[in-house]
Chains A and B, each alone.
Chain A
């Protein structure tokens, strides 16, 4: 009797995303997220690029994360929130340098302006939670992961953000909304 040669089980194939692949996959989403959270579409690409640059800088570390996308979303949100505060000073710097602001992203349609005005009134984390919910349909667990909080806290942020958003819109002149 001859023993049949045993074939070793091949090792599982592991696919490690490259920075470039993550960039291509996530960059447009980060632009949208940055626009929603910062309230400044003209800054969105700059913020997204900054987040991606950080991702590249930290790639060796982040590549091992289960969800690099959550990391870069967190950075994007932080940068977007920070950008809201520094925008005045930066505008002056741009003038001094004679550097035009990047503005390839089309401005929001006029009919959506009331929504963005209402979004802009939300506190930062609520704004971020709302953006992750409406833009990306992220479940609560993932929103919590991005925001760095517990799911219950994320749920509260989202709930209150949506509630406040609707309250803001309800308080507007009906003619301003959705028109």
Chain B
């Protein structure tokens, strides 16, 4: 297809619209900037520590949707606002007044000049502008095409265009020029601006006899062009080309990845690839160049192919000249960038319709989910010889299948057995390249009997912006196999298995981008939740999937035997959380019975401040979409704190030896507080009431544990347990114990007082070492509601 017109020739209305849209965009951002200046920064700073940030934001990844790259030229002009950053070359307002065509222009000027110039393309070979010689930079040609009353081309760095009036006397008047906005190296930009500055001053042109050169002149301007070759359209179009090498300043490097094709069809469409992404778009010929007014690239690339991908996109997107020689298509673009293709079937790899193997042996074209019909199974017929020498995937085969009735899952196998049985894959120290783009989450099952000691994983995703991402979690499934979960967020990534060989089966590739229905997420808690004691942090570690999971987690008392999960009483928890490889959020603790968490692969949640008891934690709706997932739950036990209450004071139990060290009444306050704060966290200090009979001067309360002590003159004089406390005496008597349990452990005297049914242990109710308290009644099943010893503050 040939289009000698300028596809980017804007009308005045277009100019106006471009200016208006730029103005609108800037106005919107300026408004946003202005609004956000009003935010209360100091309040936000003050809130930072205490703000309720109960979300665990470890999930970072890139959008999984295909990245569509629109490469239309920016065509702007007519903007007088310097702030609008619109590349506009001033109107040649002087027109040609005073610049009358040179009467001595010679015989070269033809009365049919406009006709002779129509459809011609030129390359500047030398020139002078008002500021002196125009610098020409190798690899950054200056071109000019004349067609349909317009002049256009490449001014070293940027494409340009504008109207031109050519009269019979050789007058050549360029109207307002517009240009692209891409920036270049300074030398190239100098060439760019020098040429455009000269072009707008051109007043006349002369065409050499035979059309071998075009000389454009004006005041202080002399430009000499030579014809530019036209693209070999006949050979180029309709042929499938396969990328052989990349060119940078005459240095070629072989192409990598899967065969990168390029095909320009007569209908003006373009298809192809970069070695990792697929391309589609439209092409047109503009003078000597082929331009792609628009094209799209879908998918993602792993890091190893990112440079090649960028190179191909840059060459094609910037426009290129084409030359075919010796069966090779050489595309040359600006800056010395080029691409060399060979026709399909000429050793360029599998370029037919059938999917071919990746050079790395893992991914071929048919292994995208878009290529799979529901229930379809695609099996590779690759043979070892098809893999390039030295490739990493000599022993890799693929079997890809979609789940019956769904296209959401696929399985591929690394191994030599095409029947699907894994075989020993020699992958020691070699990267396994994950499928790119469409597959944000991958789980590999690693058979443990093949794993040597010291097995490890290394995960890298350098394309990701945030260094905290790149979670690779290693867990164990029910059969004892290790599972490696990798989330590369839709970006290219590489997983390296260290110190292998190992037998690796890759399965459960979840592709949410093509999921016809929401994916049911799940939380795997690979290990029982370790029992803890009151005062310690309960740590709950697990693995959430699919790749980015958001849901709620709630805490309840464990249900009574026989009742449904989740039927227990909600318990307020001090939540904290941290991702395994992410940032630590231990500094943020929030009191909710339910928290919303977002996690990415493996996670750990911390809960503080739990009283002794049995609890149930429930993960619900743990999926990227509402899925009705029944959730995951687990129970755990928080044991009593290693503190006992005694008639003589307090005791601290060594959990290993079981021995008890004592803090009797009279112990120094500093010693007592050091021990208790260390075990229970910092207690809340407050002065005692001056009316208290015990004349205590300070009260310290550990609310989570339900322990209160009284201090007087720097010494411990009493303790008491608050309702709900799980602390007990050495004999196991505490709040909630029955009278029968109390009397089994101690000799007890009961007294009805103004406080209720009061009791004291021992035969002497007045003894200083008696444990005292209140019962809810006198029956055997009456329970202890209050417990204390020492000189407490009680008003009778």
Which of A's residues lie within 8 Å of B, judged by CB? 20, 23-24, 27-29, 31-32, 35-36, 41, 44-45, 48-50, 52-54, 56-58, 74-75, 77-79, 81-82, 84-86, 88-90, 92-94, 96-97, 99, 104-106, 108-109, 111-112, 114-116, 119, 123-125, 131, 134-135, 140, 147-148, 152-153, 155-156, 159-160, 162-167, 169-170, 174, 177-178
Given contacts A108-B28, A164-B70, 18 further A-B contacts (CB under 8 A): A49-B47, A49-B48, A53-B53, A78-B469, A81-B62, A86-B598, A89-B621, A89-B626, A93-B552, A93-B596, A109-B31, A112-B27, A125-B67, A156-B310, A163-B70, A163-B71, A166-B21, A178-B23
- Cβ B45 vs Cβ A24 within 8 A: yes
Chain A residues near B624 (CB-CB < 8 A) = 85-86, 89
**Residue in B22, B45, B71 whose CB lies within 8 Å of A160:** B71
Give the docked Cα–Cα distance between A65 and B585 (Å).
Answer: 22
Query: Chain A interface secondary structure, helix, strand, loop or mixed?
Result: helix
Q: Choose from A81, A84, A90, A131 the contact partner of B596 (Cβ within 8 Å).
A: A90
The winner among B22, B36, B70 for most chain A CB atoms within 10 A is: B36
B480 CB, min distance to chain A CBs, angstroms? 33
Q: Is the CB of B36 within 8 A of A28?
A: yes
A169/B24 in contact, CB under 8 A: yes
Task: List, in ascending order, chain A residues with CB within 8 A of B527's CB.
Answer: none
Point out the residues of chain B lying under 8 angstroms from A32, CB to CB: 32-33, 35-36
Q: Does B100 contact A (CB under 8 A)?
A: no
Partner of A78, one of B17, B21, B466: B466
B interface list, Cβ under 8 A from A: 17-18, 20-29, 31-33, 35-42, 44-45, 47-48, 51-53, 55, 57, 59-63, 65, 67-74, 181-183, 310, 313-314, 317, 465-466, 468-469, 548, 550-552, 583-585, 587-588, 592, 594, 596, 598, 621, 624-626
Most B CB atoms within 10 A — which of A44, A48, A89, A170? A89
Could you tell me if B465 and A135 are in contact, using CB atoms closer than 8 angstroms?
no
Distance between B544 CB and nearest chain A CB, rounded to angstroms: 12
Are A105 and B36 touching (Cβ within 8 A)?
yes
- Do A105 and B552 touch across chains, with their CB atoms under 8 A apart? no
From known contacts A23-B41, A86-B598, A96-B594, infer whether A135 and B33 are also in contact, taking CB-CB under 8 Å.
yes
Q: Are B41 and A74 in contact (CB under 8 A)?
A: no
In the complex, A84→B183 CA distance in Å?
31
Chain B min CB distance to A160 (Å): 6
| Residues in B neighbouring A153, C-beta threshold 8 A | 310
Shortest distance between the CB of A156 and any CB in chain B (Å): 8
Within the assembled complex, what's the spacing in Å between the Cα atoms of A152 and B465?
17
Residues of B within 8 A of A104 (CB): 39-40
Residue pair A97, B36 in contact (C-beta under 8 Å): no
User: Do B32 and A36 touch (CB < 8 A)?
Assistant: yes
Task: Tell me, rounded to whole Å, the shortest Cβ–Cβ distance linking B33 to chain A.
Answer: 5
Q: How far is the CA of A117 from the CA of B210 in the complex (A)?
A: 55
* A35 near B67: Cβ-Cβ < 8 Å: no
The answer to whether A52 and B44 have CB atoms under 8 Å apart is yes
Cα-based distance from A140 to B551 in the complex (angstroms): 38
List residues of chain A with CB within 8 A of the CB of B29. 36, 115, 131, 134-135
Q: How far is the CB of A118 from chain B (nearest CB, A)?
A: 8
Contact B48 A56 (CB under 8 A): yes
Q: Are B39 and A28 in contact (CB under 8 A)?
A: yes
A78-B465, A92-B626, A163-B70 given; A112·B28 CB < 8 A: yes
Are A28 and B310 interface neighbours, CB within 8 A?
A: no
- Is A57 a contact of B583 with CB atoms below 8 Å? yes
A77 near B465 (CB under 8 angstroms)?
Answer: yes
> How far is the CB of A88 from the nearest CB of chain B, in Å?
7
Q: How far is the CB of A142 from chain B (nearest CB, A)?
A: 14
Complex A-B: 10 CB contacts under 8 Å: A20-B45, A23-B44, A32-B36, A41-B32, A45-B44, A52-B44, A86-B59, A105-B39, A111-B27, A169-B25
**Which residue of chain B is the closest to A157 with respect to CB atoms?**
B69
Asked, given contacts A27-B41, A82-B59, A123-B63, whether A162 binds B74 with beta carbons under 8 Å apart, the answer is yes
Q: B74, A155: Cβ atoms under 8 Å?
A: no
Q: Is the CB of B48 within 8 A of A53?
A: yes
CA gap between A130 and B21 in the complex, in Å: 14
Give Cα A116 to B39, complex, Å. Answer: 20
Contacts of B68 in A (CB 8 A): 123
Query: Which chain B residue shows the least CB distance to A27?
Result: B41
Closest 7 pairs between A and B when the two form their complex, measured CB to CB:
A93-B596, A115-B28, A112-B28, A134-B29, A89-B550, A32-B36, A78-B466
Shortest Cβ distance from residue A131 to the other chain B in the assembled complex, whole angstroms: 8
Q: How far is the CA of A57 from the CA of B182 in the complex (A)?
A: 39
Closest to A115 in B: B28
Quick check: A134 and B74 within 8 Å, CB to CB?
A: no
Question: What's the minimum C-beta distance from A148 to chain B, rounded to whole angstroms?
Answer: 5
Residues of B within 8 A of A167 (CB): 70, 72
Closest Cβ of chain B: how far from A33's Cβ, in Å?
9
Alpha-carbon gap, A94 to B67, bound state (A): 31
In Å, the complex CA distance between A58 and B28 comes to 33
Q: Across the interface, which residues of B come within 8 angstroms of A166, CB to CB?
A: 18, 21-22, 25, 74
Contact with A53, one of B22, B468, B588 (Cβ below 8 angstroms): B588
How far does the Cβ of B466 sit from chain A's closest Cβ, in whole Å? 4
Q: How far is the CA of A2 from the CA of B17 in the complex (A)?
A: 79
Tell me whether A105 and B48 are in contact in the complex, defined as CB-CB below 8 angstroms, given that A97-B596, A178-B20 are known contacts.
Answer: no
- Smallest CB separation, A122 vs chain B (Å): 10
User: Within 8 Å CB of B32, what residues of A?
Assistant: 32, 35-36, 41, 108, 112, 135
Q: Please indicate the chain A residues that have their CB under 8 angstroms from the CB of B584 in the complex.
A: 57
Q: Which residue of B lies closest to A56 (CB)?
A: B48
B180: nearest chain-A partner, CB-CB: A159
CB neighbours of A41 from chain B (8 A): 32, 35
CB pair B17 A170 closer than 8 Å: yes
Chain A: minimal CB distance from B19 (Å): 10
Residues of A contacting B74 in the complex (Cβ-Cβ under 8 angstroms): 159, 162-163, 166
